[in-house]
Homo-oligomer: A and B are copies of this chain.
Amino acid sequence: MAKAVQLGRSLKALRAANGWSLAEVSRRTSISISTLSKVENGLLSLTYDKLIGLSEGLDVDVSVFFNKAGINPDPTPLGRRSLDDIGGGEIIDTPNYQYRYLHTDLSNKQLIPVIVEHTTRTIEDFGPLVKHTGEEFVHVLSGRIEVHTELYAPKILGPGESVYIDSNMGHAYLCVSEEPAQTLSVCVSDPTQSADDHPN
């Protein structure tokens, strides 16, 4: 006897949420109505290829069907809060930047917020462009920075301005103001990536 109660629940919930009939789902996914009916009633499981068919036809991530609850896809603990004041955070020095990682008391964060002091002033001193997984948002707090990327011409940003880039594109930030430039940057820690070089 096949058991796939989760799967059935997920599908039923998804179908109800969108007001689809079995026929409609069948049309979208090319899976027969009878099969869908049995799946929802826990009489049948599904094979890999059918799961992909479901996912693509209904335009949802396959993970939807693998959630324990079938309704709450967020496994992160509830109700955490962390405060950081002006001087707070964990300071890390690197050749090109001085980082002040914020909210390091929370682990397994999805966002990595960090205050960055930009010191390097020429692309030669900087060395090769940096690339890593994920995406990042950089907002200038003070001073002026020059944003270098692999695919675009360099661009200078002042206080209040910001840039958003795919981090897998090579990038570098230089300081081009008299005083040192300071930015507030936020990265995403890719949850599908096991290793992470940030102290989150």
A109 / chain B contacts, CB cutoff of 8 Å? 135, 164
- Tally of this chain's copies: 2
Q: Does A16 sit within 8 A of B, measured CB to CB?
A: no
Quick one: which of B60, B62, B84 contacts A62, CB cutoff 8 A? B62
A184 / chain B contacts, CB cutoff of 8 Å? 139, 184
Q: Which residue from chain B places its CB closest to the CB of A112 in the assembled complex?
A: B137
Known: A2-B47, A7-B48, A194-B59. A113 touches B164 (CB 8 A): yes
CB <8 Å contact, A77 and B161: no
Known: A111-B188, A139-B184, A166-B76. A161 touches B86 (CB 8 A): yes
A61–B86 Cα distance when bound, in Å, is 36
Q: Which of A61-79 contact B (CB under 8 A)?
A: 61-67, 73-74, 76-79
A168 / chain B contacts, CB cutoff of 8 Å? 74, 78-79
Q: Does A155 sit within 8 A of B, measured CB to CB?
A: yes
CB <8 Å contact, B186 and A137: yes
Q: Which of A35-60 contact B (CB under 8 A)?
A: 45-49, 51-52, 55, 59-60
Q: Does A192 sit within 8 A of B, measured CB to CB?
A: yes
CB <8 Å contact, A83 and B45: no
A111–B150 Cα distance when bound, in Å, is 21
A76–B68 Cα distance when bound, in Å, is 26
A73–B193 Cα distance when bound, in Å, is 8
CB <8 Å contact, B66 and A192: no
List residues of A whose CB falls within 8 A of some B CB.
Answer: 2-4, 7, 45-49, 51-52, 55, 59-67, 73-74, 76-86, 102-103, 106, 109-111, 113, 133-137, 139, 147, 149-152, 155, 157, 159-166, 168-169, 184, 186, 188, 190-194
Can you list 5 A-B pairs with a CB-CB distance of less than 8 A? A2-B47, A62-B62, A67-B192, A81-B151, A111-B136
